[in-house]
Chains A and B, each alone.
Chain A
Amino acid sequence: MTDPVVAAEGLSKVFRDDNLGYVTAIDALTLNVRPGELTALVGPDGAGKTTLMRMFAGLMKPDGGSLSVLGIDVVRDPQQVQDRISYMPQRFGLYEDLSVMENLDLYADLHGVPHEERRERYARMLEMTDMARFTARPAGKLSGGMKQKLGLACTLVRSPELLLLDEPSVGVDPLSRRDLWKIVQQLVEDEGLSVVLSTSYSDEAERCARVHVMHGGRVLESGQPGAIRERARGLTFTAATPDGTPARNVQARLIDASALIIDAVPQGGNVRYIRRPDADEREIEALIPGIARERRVEELEDAFMMLLREHEEAASGAAPSMKTTENGIRHDDGKPVIQVRDLVRKFGDFTAVASTSFAVERGEIFGLLGPNGAGKTTTFRMLCGLLPATSGHLEVAGRDLRTARARARARIGYVSQKFALYGNLSVRENLQFFGGAYGLGQRALRERIAAMVAQFNLDPSAISGLLPAGYRQRLAMATGLLHQPEILFLDEPTSGIDPLARRAFWRTITALAQDGVTIVITTHFMEEAEYCDRIAIQDAGEMLAIGTPREIRELAGQAGARDMNSAFIAIVEDSRDRRGTRVAA
C-alpha cells in the first residue's frame, strides 16, 4: 500500500467560546486518506467536518495530535502543503463584480499558473462546468449552483496533488449538484487526483471509494460504503401504506415506538424503516396492523442513521420527543385556506413569478420545491405577506392579502430559514414580545407561553442567542405557534440541523397537521417532500407540477419512479428542454 495523502493521529481541537465555554470540535480523531481515491467525510452539521478540512489545509492549528498531508507535517510547514493542494471552502471567495473569465484569471495569477498552460486548462474547466457561454457574465449574477461550479473551476486552475472540498453541494439545487459530482468524478478517474470532500448527504458518500462517518468530532466508522452498509443488513423494511392514507401517519406511529424502531421515513408513498435487531416482529405487526411489510435492500443512509442513533443514545439516552397539543383551530368550512390566482411578481423587467394559481386545503402540508432562483422564495414571501404581489389574487386564511394584510397576518405563523429572533433577549422575553405583537391578552399570553415552553422543552430564562441550534429552532417554532395560527409558514426549516433533529422536527409538523394546522413549507431536501400532502415544483418563475408526491412521481415517468430527488430532476429538466426548444424555434 502506498503512503496515505492525509494521516491524522489523535487529532484534537478545542474552541474557546465566550458564552459556551470550551467546545470540543475535534476529539482525539485518527484517520488515513488513501491516494488517488475519492474520500468522503460524512456527518451531520456540527460534526467537525469543516474544522478538520481547515486543519488539513493548514489554515488551523490542532491543539493536540499529529497531522501530515502529502507526507509533510502541516503544523510545522503549512505553506509547503498549501503550495501543493487546492482547497475549496464552503463559501468560495468569488469576486462578484468580476466576470467569470476575470475570476479565473485572478485565481490563475494568484497561484502563479504560467500563461501557456492557462488556455488548455481554462478550456477544460469551462467545458466540464458547462460555463463556456457565460465567460463574460459577472460572477454575482450567476445562480447558486453556477457560482459553486465556478468556485470549483477557480480552485482547479492549477493541478493540485490533493483536492479538499468542504461541502461543495450545500445550498446547491439537485441539478447543479449532479453536474458538480460529474466534474469531481471525472477528475479522479482521468487524472488520478486524490479528493477529500465533506458532505451531509449519504447518496454522495455512497459514490466515494472510502467513507469516514463523523459525529461529535469523532470518526464513528471508516470503510468502503459497502462495508458500512452491511451494518443495516436484514434490518431494513418498507411498510406499504394503503392508498388514501398519508404515509406520514404510518411513519409517525413507527418512529414513536423507539424501543422497536431505529428510524422511519416516508418515501415513494411508503415508509422505510429500520427495526432494532432485537425487536419482535409481532410487536411491529401490532403497531401497524394490516400494513404489508417488506424487506428491502439496505442503503448507506440506513447505516448512518444507525450509527448516529447509537452514538446519540450512548451520549444522552433517548432524545426527547416533541408532542403537540391544542395548537390547531378546528373550524373547517370546507373552503381552501390559501387561494392564489394568477399571481405575478416582477422585479423591474425580471419576472420572478409568472402567473401562478393554486389552492391549499385546511390541514394540508403543502411543500414548495424548486431549484435556487426558481421563484419559490418569492412565492413564499408573497404568501406570508412579506412581499406585495405585482398582480393577481391572493387570499390567506379567508382574508385578501392585498386589502386586509394585518388581519391576514394575525392568522399565520412564520418560521424563517435562519434564526430570526432577538438573540440578546431570553426565551420568555421573545415569546412575550411576539405574543404581545399578535395581540394576546395577559392571561392568554401566560397560558400560551407555559404551553409552548412545556411542549418544546425550553428553558424560559435562557438567553435565546446562546441556545444550541436545535433548541433555537424549537424556540422559532414556539414563536410561530404562540398565537395558534391557522397556517404555519416554514422557510427551509431543516437546513443546518442533523438528521435526528430533522426526524423530530417533522414529527412535530405532522402532529400539527393532524391538529388541523395548515403547513406551507419550502425545503431543498427533496426526500422531505414525502412528508407533504401535496407539493408544487417551480422553475424559472413557472409552476411546473403540483400534486401529491405520488402524482409527481408518476408525472416524472420512468426517470422519477425511484424517489423524489430523481422525480424532481426529471420534471425540471423536461421543462427546461421544452423551453429550450421553444426559444430556439
Chain B
Amino acid sequence: MHGAALYLAQTFALIRKEMLSLLKDPSSRALLVAPALMQALLFGYGATYELTHAPYAVLDQSNSAASRDILARVESTGVFRQIAALGNSTQIAGSIDSGDALLVLVFPPDFASRLAAGEDAPMQVILDGRNSATAGAAAAQVGSIVGAYNQSLGASSPVRIVRRAWFNPNYESRWNLMPAMIASLSMLQTLMLAALSVAREREQGTFDQLLVTPLTPSQILIGKALPSILVGLLQSTIIFLVILYWFRIPMAGSVWLLYFGLLVFTTASVGIGLSISAVSLSMQQAMLYTFMLVMPLMLLSGLLTPVRNMPDVLEAATWANPLRFGIDIVRRVYLEGASFADVAPNFIPLVVVTAVTLPLAAWLFRNRLS
C-alpha cells in the first residue's frame, strides 16, 4: 500500500476504532438517542411563551354591566383564568407578589358613569413584570380585547392595524424555538463527545500509544472528527424528525440545504470540542471547559434573545460563535424556505472557526506538554 491508499486505510482504522468504542460502551450508546429525543420533547412542550391558563385577579369597583361585559370577553378567550375577585386595592400587591396572579384588572368606581358620559374611561392592568415575556403577551391580549370592546361601542378609530405574522402565522413560540433546537441541542452533545474523545485517551494513557503509531496529526484529526460529526448529524436528525412529525411544524425549505448547513455547523462545533480536548489532560478538565463554554455559546447565539438587541461588544463576540450562524441557517431554511444564496453569508464565519480550531487541535495533539 502506498501514498493515498495507505493514508486512507490508516485513517479508516482509527475511525473504525472510534465508532467501535462508542458503540461498545452501553452508556455512550444510550447517549446517542435518548437525550436528544427527550430534550426535543421537553423543549417542545415545556419551553413556550404562549399564554395558557394565565391567572388573573379582578378588582371591580365599578361593578357595572360594562365591566362585566369586558370580563366576560376576557374569560371567553380561554387564555385567562380568574383566580380571585379582590375586595379592595390593598389586596392587589399581595396577589401579584405571591405569584398567584400574572395580572390584575382594576375597574375604578366611576368606570361605567364615565363611559356613559362619553368620556375617557381608564381601566388599569397591573402586570407581573418579573416574567416580562409572558406579561407582555398578556398585556397585548388584554389590549386587543379592550380594542374589540371599543369597536363594539362604535368608538372606532380611523387607523386599524391588521397583523399578519409571516412564517409563523399564529405566533407560536414553539415554531421559533424548535428549529433552533436542531442546531443547539445537537451542539451540546457533539461538543461534549469531541471534548471527551482525546481527553479520555490522555487520561487512560492510550493517547501515547496512538501517538507512537505512524498516524500523522491530520489522520488523527480526521479519525477523531468524523465520528463526532456523524453523531452530531444523527442527533440533529432525531430532533428534526420530532419537530417535523411530532410537533408538525411545517418545513418550508430544502432538506439538502438544511443538512449541508448542519454539516458545516457541526464540523465547526467539533473543531471547538477537539481543541478543548487537546488542551485537557483529563476528562474532568475537558468537561469543565465545555460547561464553561456552553452557557455563553447559548446566550450569544440568538436562540432566546435577538443578537441585535445585544450591546456592541457582545454582538461582536457572537461572530466567533458557530451556534449563532447554525441557528440562523436552520431557522431560515426551515421556516422561510431560504435558498443557499440567502443563507450563504452564514457559512463564512463557520468556515473561519473550523479553519482555526481544527488545525489548532491537530497541533495541540503533539505539542501539548504533559
A417 to chain B: closest residue by CB: B205
- Which residues from chain A contact B24 at a C-beta distance below 8 Å? 424-425
Any A CB within 8 A of the CB of B210: yes
Any A CB within 8 A of the CB of B68: no
Taking a contact as CB atoms under 8 Å apart, the answer to whether B214 and A410 are in contact is: yes
Interface stretch, picked from B10-18, B98-106, B155-163, B230-238, is B10-18
Query: Per a CB cutoff under 8 Å, which of A406, A414, A437, A479 touches B13?
Result: A437
Any B CB within 8 A of the CB of A140: no
Taking a contact as CB atoms under 8 Å apart, the answer to whether B212 and A347 are in contact is: no
Any A CB within 8 A of the CB of B52: no
Any A CB within 8 A of the CB of B121: no
- Which residues from chain B contact A407 at a C-beta distance below 8 Å? 214
Name the interface size band of chain A.
20 to 34
Taking a contact as CB atoms under 8 Å apart, the answer to whether A409 and B214 are in contact is: yes
- Which residues from chain B contact A409 at a C-beta distance below 8 Å? 212-214
Report A378 CB to chain B, min CB distance, Å. 11
Alpha-carbon gap, A489 to B6, bound state (A): 24
Known contacts: A422-B206, A439-B6. The answer to whether A429 contacts B17 by CB under 8 A is yes
Taking a contact as CB atoms under 8 Å apart, the answer to whether B20 and A437 are in contact is: no
Taking a contact as CB atoms under 8 Å apart, the answer to whether A439 and B209 are in contact is: no
Taking a contact as CB atoms under 8 Å apart, the answer to whether B6 and A437 are in contact is: no
- Which residues from chain B contact A422 at a C-beta distance below 8 Å? 17, 21, 206
Taking a contact as CB atoms under 8 Å apart, the answer to whether B1 and A439 are in contact is: yes
B6 to chain A: closest residue by CB: A439
Taking a contact as CB atoms under 8 Å apart, the answer to whether A437 and B10 are in contact is: yes
Taking a contact as CB atoms under 8 Å apart, the answer to whether A384 and B212 are in contact is: yes
Query: Per a CB cutoff under 8 Å, which of A347, A419, A429, A439 touches B20?
Result: A429
Report B45 CB to chain A, min CB distance, Å. 36
Taking a contact as CB atoms under 8 Å apart, the answer to whether A421 and B209 are in contact is: yes
Any B CB within 8 A of the CB of A65: no
Known contacts: A386-B211, A409-B212, A439-B6. The answer to whether A418 contacts B13 by CB under 8 A is no
Alpha-carbon gap, A441 to B9, bound state (A): 9
Any B CB within 8 A of the CB of A420: yes
Alpha-carbon gap, A432 to B216, bound state (A): 18
- Which residues from chain A contact B20 at a C-beta distance below 8 Å? 425, 429
- Which residues from chain B contact A410 at a C-beta distance below 8 Å? 213-214
Alpha-carbon gap, A412 to B212, bound state (A): 8
Known contacts: A386-B211, A388-B367, A410-B214. The answer to whether A439 contacts B9 by CB under 8 A is yes
- Which residues from chain B contact A388 at a C-beta distance below 8 Å? 366-367
Taking a contact as CB atoms under 8 Å apart, the answer to whether B214 and A433 are in contact is: no
- Which residues from chain A contact B210 at a C-beta distance below 8 Å? 437
Chain A 429-460 interface 0/1 with B at a Cβ cutoff of 8 Å (1 = within) = 10011111111010000000000000000000
Contacting residues of chain B (210-245) with chain A, CB-CB under 8 angstroms: 210-216
- Which residues from chain B contact A421 at a C-beta distance below 8 Å? 206, 209
Chain A 228-244 interface 0/1 with B at a Cβ cutoff of 8 Å (1 = within) = 00000000000000000
Alpha-carbon gap, A429 to B214, bound state (A): 18
Report A403 CB to chain B, min CB distance, Å. 14
- Which residues from chain A contact B206 at a C-beta distance below 8 Å? 420-422
Taking a contact as CB atoms under 8 Å apart, the answer to whether A406 and B17 are in contact is: no
Known contacts: A407-B214, A409-B213, A410-B214. The answer to whether A437 contacts B208 by CB under 8 A is no
- Which residues from chain A contact B367 at a C-beta distance below 8 Å? 388
A415 to chain B: closest residue by CB: B209
Taking a contact as CB atoms under 8 Å apart, the answer to whether A425 and B10 are in contact is: no
Any B CB within 8 A of the CB of A246: no
Taking a contact as CB atoms under 8 Å apart, the answer to whether B1 and A441 are in contact is: yes
B7 to chain A: closest residue by CB: A439
B219 to chain A: closest residue by CB: A437
- Which residues from chain A contact B9 at a C-beta distance below 8 Å? 436, 439, 441
Query: Per a CB cutoff under 8 Å, which of A419, A437, A479 touches B214?
Result: A437
- Which residues from chain B contact A32 at a C-beta distance below 8 Å? none
Query: Per a CB cutoff under 8 Å, which of A416, A433, A489 touches B17?
Result: A433
Any A CB within 8 A of the CB of B4: no
Any A CB within 8 A of the CB of B25: yes
Taking a contact as CB atoms under 8 Å apart, the answer to whether A425 and B205 are in contact is: no
Report B248 CB to chain A, min CB distance, Å. 40
Taking a contact as CB atoms under 8 Å apart, the answer to whether B215 and A416 are in contact is: no
Main secondary structure of the interface of A (DSSP, over half): loop
Any A CB within 8 A of the CB of B204: yes
Alpha-carbon gap, A504 to B302, bound state (A): 64
Query: Per a CB cutoff under 8 Å, which of B1, B21, B204 touches A420?
Result: B204
Chain B 150-174 interface 0/1 with A at a Cβ cutoff of 8 Å (1 = within) = 0000000000000000000000000
Indicate the member of A420, A429, A441 with the most B CB atoms within 10 Å: A420
B223 to chain A: closest residue by CB: A437
Taking a contact as CB atoms under 8 Å apart, the answer to whether B13 and A436 are in contact is: yes
Contacting residues of chain A (389-407) with chain B, CB-CB under 8 angstroms: 406-407
Taking a contact as CB atoms under 8 Å apart, the answer to whether A433 and B14 are in contact is: yes
A408 to chain B: closest residue by CB: B214
Chain A 469-491 interface 0/1 with B at a Cβ cutoff of 8 Å (1 = within) = 00000000001000000000100
Report A439 CB to chain B, min CB distance, Å. 5
B26 to chain A: closest residue by CB: A424
Taking a contact as CB atoms under 8 Å apart, the answer to whether A433 and B212 are in contact is: no
Taking a contact as CB atoms under 8 Å apart, the answer to whether B204 and A439 are in contact is: no
Alpha-carbon gap, A375 to B213, bound state (A): 23
- Which residues from chain B contact A424 at a C-beta distance below 8 Å? 21, 24-25
Report A190 CB to chain B, min CB distance, Å. 43
Any A CB within 8 A of the CB of B341: no
B205 to chain A: closest residue by CB: A420
A412 to chain B: closest residue by CB: B212
Alpha-carbon gap, A508 to B12, bound state (A): 32
Alpha-carbon gap, A412 to B25, bound state (A): 31
Taking a contact as CB atoms under 8 Å apart, the answer to whether A433 and B16 are in contact is: yes
Query: Per a CB cutoff under 8 Å, which of A347, A420, A437 touches B215?
Result: A437
Alpha-carbon gap, A380 to B13, bound state (A): 27
Any B CB within 8 A of the CB of A226: no
A409 to chain B: closest residue by CB: B214
A465 to chain B: closest residue by CB: B204
Any A CB within 8 A of the CB of B369: yes
Any B CB within 8 A of the CB of A373: no
Any B CB within 8 A of the CB of A93: no
Taking a contact as CB atoms under 8 Å apart, the answer to whether B21 and A347 are in contact is: no
Alpha-carbon gap, A385 to B215, bound state (A): 12
Taking a contact as CB atoms under 8 Å apart, the answer to whether A425 and B21 are in contact is: yes
Taking a contact as CB atoms under 8 Å apart, the answer to whether A414 and B21 are in contact is: no
- Which residues from chain B contact A420 at a C-beta distance below 8 Å? 204-206, 208-209
Indicate the member of B10, B13, B21, B205 with the most A CB atoms within 10 Å: B13
Report B13 CB to chain A, min CB distance, Å. 2
- Which residues from chain A contact B215 at a C-beta distance below 8 Å? 406, 437
Alpha-carbon gap, A347 to B10, bound state (A): 33
Alpha-carbon gap, A435 to B14, bound state (A): 10
Alpha-carbon gap, A4 to B294, bound state (A): 61
Alpha-carbon gap, A215 to B221, bound state (A): 46
Alpha-carbon gap, A69 to B210, bound state (A): 49
Any B CB within 8 A of the CB of A277: no
A423 to chain B: closest residue by CB: B204
Taking a contact as CB atoms under 8 Å apart, the answer to whether B216 and A406 are in contact is: yes
A485 to chain B: closest residue by CB: B212
Indicate the member of A407, A417, A436 with the most B CB atoms within 10 Å: A436
- Which residues from chain B contact A438 at a C-beta distance below 8 Å? 10, 213-214
Chain B 14-55 interface 0/1 with A at a Cβ cutoff of 8 Å (1 = within) = 101100110011000000000000000000000000000000
A-B contact sample (4 more), CB < 8 A, given A384-B212, A407-B214, A412-B212: A409-B213, A414-B208, A433-B16, A437-B10
Seen from chain A, the residues whose Cβ lies within 8 Å of a Cβ on chain B are 347, 384-386, 388, 406-407, 409-410, 412, 414, 416-425, 429, 432-439, 441, 479, 489
- In the assembled complex, 16 residue pairs joining A and B whose CB atoms fall closer than 8 Å, in A order, are A347-B369, A386-B212, A409-B212, A414-B209, A417-B205, A420-B205, A422-B17, A423-B204, A432-B13, A432-B16, A433-B17, A436-B14, A437-B14, A438-B214, A441-B1, A479-B209
Question: Which 6 A-B residue pairs are closest in the complex by CB-CB distance?
Answer: A436-B13, A420-B205, A410-B214, A433-B17, A414-B212, A437-B213
